[in-house]
Amino acid sequence: MNLLTSSVLVTLLMLTFPIMMTSTTMYANKSYPQYVKTATSYAFMISLIPTMMFLHLGQDTMISNWHWITIQTMKLSLSFKLDYFSMIFMPVALFVTWSIMEFSMWYMHSDPNINRFFKYLLLFLITMMILVTANNMFQLFIGWEGVGIMSFLLIGWWYGRTDANTAALQAILYNRIGDVGLILAMAWFLMNLNTWDLQQIFMTNNENLTIPLAGLLLAATGKSAQFGLHPWLPSAMEGPTPVSALLHSSTMVVAGVFLLIRFHPLMEYNKTIQTITLCLGAITTLFTTICALTQNDIKKIVAFSTSSQLGLMMVTIGINQPYLAFLHICTHAFFKAMLFMCSGSIIHSLNDEQDIRKMGGLFKALPFTTTSLIVGSLALTGMPFLTGFYSKDLIIETANTSCTNAWALLLTLVATSMTAAYSTRIMFFALLGQPRFNPIITINENNPLLINSIKRLLFGSIFAGFLISHNLTPTTTPQMTMPHYLKMMAIAVTILGFILALELNLTMQSLKFKYPTNLFKFSSMLGYFPTIIHRLMTKTNLLMSQKSASTLLDMIWLEKILPKSISHFQMKSSMIISSQKGLIKLYFMSFMLTLALSLLTLNFHE
Amino acid sequence: MSVVYINIFLAFTLSFMGLLIYRSHLMSSLLCLEGMMLSLFIMMTVTILANHFTLASMTPIILLVFAACEAALGLSLLVMISSTYGTDYVQNLNLLQC
């Protein structure tokens, strides 16, 4: 028991050492990336100790270190909550980050600022850890904003490119809208429950918690790219592939879902928020899957896939299964990061080609990447007994057998089949068939950094689901019996999606491409959402503000109505009426003479 | 009117003369206007203090406020004229146009 708290603190402290080395000569060294990677791997191994202790003991722990500030009746201290969620997420996140750092040692090899890149990655990891282990909402907010800032810095890594800057700014803006929800929740908790500590929030029995929960839902919508605040996630693919793998697939975007999972004791009794979450998640997952079907950039397809899985996690929260959603977060991290790393390997091998219409025939040229891409896609779609199966299939089974919104359920099932469809599309276009790229000799996957990192995540994608779900303490009883058609539902729609996509792809190879239909245009333009929202709303706002503030108030009311009209009127009338000639001195002189004469001659006071 | 005020009264009359008789610059009449205001202020203040007329102690301040407003107005007229003609010679003001 003694070792648990100190191991956690050692883990967190170990991650900060490379940051503290920034001012020394180590930072200018060529071996700094290696140092950072080793620090992360050691942190992972040490973090396994408290996790296994937690699994054995089953006790939640809380570390409360340093009394920060006391504002009248609220006491803020640096406190870490080591419960089920943070204890299991920490080693998963550290493992995935370790692999991604090793991958980016290969991917960003020729970048002159590679040390800064690693520092940013590590800063992101630290803020994510702060978010995950936070026990009070202030610390959570620090982690929340921290991951937002690091996301901005990392998406705009190649800041010479306009699109990258726009995408980074877009990420910040959409996250900010979500942050308003988080601040609303924090303010509500402070005013009504007088605390920001999670323990006290969960203790009080409050009936009407809709307002803060709605705020938290808005925060999750912003951070986890749910429908309405989702365009930043595909745009965030402007960043380097390791950034996409770390931030926008496994770690940062699950922060929103993690927030909702943290507050699940409050959400259990609020049916309204659960229904809203369910419907929002269902819409998100279907919409983003539709958009993913017609994209041509391999990273964008995987980004939409991430968005769709996030919608699925929201659906899980909506049916009141936070532990399943958390399991899906952990398993999803493995195969999604691996999918991104495989696409990074393909992109680098084809000399930075990201369009799947220009790939092909990599089945024989990049065998290891092909293997891991196929395994990752199968894990994503929920192939039985791979990683994704343990979480995704359970989610769909639970949704099928629970008393929930049938429409949301239908959307989720359709999205599941489409997941298989676009996975087939990636595999078909990138790997199979004849090569459609220029004959180049940069196709090389022989680097041990690349191979080892993908291999680790490959093992994770195959075994992690089994290992994690069999070692966890069971929390809610899963539904054991159900009609056989419900049990087979998930696998059936997935196989349907696979077969349909394969048939369509094979058939379309020899047909001529006609003009795109309306449905194709809808899917390809991402549902026209960015086009409408990014242009229409801002133009309306600016136009209205210009008309009301500048034109109406300033020009008309303040300038024209009284001052200018008075002067105009006076000038016109004086020009018409008066007959003076402007002989001022004469007028003054006559005035003075009259005054003097009258004072001298008329002495009335005597 | 006691004899002690004759000094201030003389100052007022002198400024008044200066306001009405000036040669070429409009600025000199504005300066004399200020002098008039100053002498009025001093006269009012001394009367109030000597007669312990405490209820009217506010009046010099109000006089100062209005004097400031009128000085601003006079200066804006000067600036208008000066921007049209370049100088403030009074012989320029023969057209009724700004």
Q: Where are the domains of chain B?
A: 3-89
pLDDT reported for residue B90: 81
% of residues, chain A, pLDDT over 70:
99
User: Would A206 be classed as within a structural domain?
Assistant: yes
Summary mean pLDDT of chain A? 89
**Which residue of chain B comes nearest to A572, CA vs CA?**
B97
Does the pLDDT at position B39 exceed 60?
Answer: yes
Does the pLDDT at position A418 exceed 90?
Answer: yes
Rounded to a whole number of angstroms, the distance from the CA of B43 to the nearest CA of chain A is 21
User: Would A564 be classed as within a structural domain?
Assistant: yes
A402-406: average pLDDT: 85
Domains of chain A: total: 2
Between chains, do A584 and B93 touch, taking CB under 8 Å as contact?
Answer: yes
A293 lies in the same domain as A407:
yes
pLDDT reported for residue A534: 87
Interface test with A, best of B15, B19, B20 (most A CBs within 10 A): B20
Does the pLDDT at position A95 exceed 70?
Answer: yes
User: Would A517 be classed as within a structural domain?
Assistant: no
CA distances to A126, A373, A492, B39, B57 from A95, rounded to whole Å, are 14, 19, 33, 89, 83
Interface test with B, best of A573, A581, A584, A593 (most B CBs within 10 A): A584
**pTM of the full structure:** 0.79
Q: Which of A582, A588, A592 sits opposite B96 (nearest CB)?
A: A582
Confirm if A425 and A354 have CB atoms less than 8 A apart. Answer: no
CA distances to A61, A135, A262, A268 from A199, rounded to whole Å, are 12, 8, 11, 16
Q: Residue A605: its chain B contacts at CB < 8 A?
A: none
Q: State the Cα–Cα distance between residues A196 and A205, nearest whole angstrom.
A: 15
**Which residue of chain A comes nearest to B92, CA vs CA?**
A582
Interface test with B, best of A585, A591, A595, A605 (most B CBs within 10 A): A585
| pLDDT tier for residue A402 given thresholds of 50, 70 and 90 | confident
Q: Which fold is adopted by the domain B3-89?
A: Helix Hairpins (1.10.287)
pLDDT reported for residue A82: 92
Q: What is the extent of the structural domain holding A565?
A: 535-602
Span A442-464, pLDDT tens digits: 788 888 999 999 999 999 889 98
A443 lies in the same domain as A569:
no
pLDDT reported for residue B95: 67
**Which residue of chain A comes nearest to B90, CA vs CA?**
A584
User: Would A461 be classed as within a structural domain?
Assistant: yes
Pick the residue with more confidence: A165 or A577?
Answer: A165
Q: Residue A583: its chain B contacts at CB < 8 A?
A: 94
A79-102: average pLDDT: 93
Phi, psi of A134 (to 5 degrees): -75, 140
Residue ranges of chain A whose CB lies within 8 Å of a chain B CB: 571, 574-575, 578, 580-585, 588-589, 591-592
Rounded to a whole number of angstroms, the distance from the CA of A581 to the nearest CA of chain B is 6
What's the angle, vertex CA A348, arms to CA A346 and CA A349, rounded to 5? 65
A362-367: average pLDDT: 89
Pick the residue with more confidence: A48 or A3?
Answer: A48
Confirm if A395 and A382 have CB atoms less than 8 A apart. Answer: no
A152 lies in the same domain as A81:
yes
pLDDT reported for residue A594: 92
Q: State the Cα–Cα distance between residues A541 and A546, nearest whole angstrom.
A: 8
Between chains, do A580 and B96 touch, taking CB under 8 Å as contact?
Answer: yes
The strand pairing partners of A206, in sequence order, are: none
| pLDDT tier for residue A500 given thresholds of 50, 70 and 90 | very high
Q: Residue A578: its chain B contacts at CB < 8 A?
A: 96
- Residue A226 DSSP one-character state: -
Q: Provide the token pair at A494.
A: 């997935």
Query: Which value does ipTM take for this structure?
Result: 0.81
Burial of A585 (0-12, 13-18, 19+ CB in 10 A): middle
Helix (H, G, I), strand (E, B) or coil at B95: coil
pLDDT reported for residue B73: 95
Highest mean pLDDT among A318-332, A518-532, B77-91: A318-332
- As a residue count, chain B comes to 98
Does the pLDDT at position A295 exceed 80?
Answer: yes
Does the pLDDT at position B98 exceed 60?
Answer: no
- Residue B53 DSSP one-character state: -
Span A227-252, pLDDT tens digits: 989 999 999 998 999 999 998 888 88
pLDDT reported for residue B97: 60
| pLDDT tier for residue A530 given thresholds of 50, 70 and 90 | confident
User: Would A79 be classed as within a structural domain?
Assistant: yes
Rounded to a whole number of angstroms, the distance from the CA of B22 to the nearest CA of chain A is 7
A544-552: average pLDDT: 87
A231 lies in the same domain as A363:
yes
Confirm if A385 and A144 have CB atoms less than 8 A apart. Answer: no
A483-494: average pLDDT: 89
Phi, psi of A487 (to 5 degrees): -65, -35
Between chains, do B19 and A575 touch, taking CB under 8 Å as contact?
Answer: no
**Which residue of chain B comes nearest to A576, CA vs CA?**
B96
